Amino acid sequence: MKQLVLRNKTYETIYRALGLLWLVMLIIFIATADSRTWNFWLNVILLLVLAAGFLSLNFGTLVNRLTADKGVLTIRWYTKTVRAIISIDEIEDIHMDGNYIRIMLKSGKVVRLPTRMLEFDEKRTVRKFLKEVTGF
């Protein structure tokens, strides 16, 4: 099994800052609100969940992961909510430009991976990994 994992440092910084902001909001809310109402406790729980979500980098959805195992390419990209599972035999061609990596399938479907937020060497690493795994 071959795997490539990339993290977007800009998004990590933004999400962690938002998580800290939620925690500060929670502390201010606890200090200023009336704790005898049910709305108070509902807001406290919601703010805790939101802070945990942002501090954990949106529960792992900001990680780019490409995995090749037994003829199957699994793509987990930060802009997609679900994983894309592609058989390597179905791949017809791979194109790369400044904004996207396009994986053309024999069925005519195109899987686009946005790369404009990645650094140049990270884009090159993704292309090299796909070339090594698929042969294109």
User: CB under 8 Å to 92, separation ≥6 — which residues?
Assistant: 104, 105, 106
Strands (E), 20-71: 63-69
Is residue 32 one of the residues assigned to a domain? yes
Is residue 10 one of the residues assigned to a domain? yes
Number of domains in the chain: 1
- Structural domain containing residue 39: 6-60
Is residue 43 one of the residues assigned to a domain? yes
Is residue 132 one of the residues assigned to a domain? no
Record the pTM.
0.70
Give residue 71's region: left, alpha or beta (phi > 0; psi -120 to 50).
left
The percent helix, strand, coil of the chain (3-state, each to 5) is 45, 30, 25
Is residue 22 one of the residues assigned to a domain? yes
- Note down pLDDT in tens along the chain; length 136 residues: 999 998 877 778 888 898 899 899 999 999 999 999 999 999 999 999 988 888 887 776 777 899 999 999 999 988 787 899 999 999 999 999 989 999 999 999 999 999 888 888 999 999 999 999 998 8
Q: Which one, of 13, 43, 29, 2, lies nearest residue 125 by Cα?
A: 2
Is residue 20 one of the residues assigned to a domain? yes
Is residue 18 one of the residues assigned to a domain? yes
Is residue 41 one of the residues assigned to a domain? yes
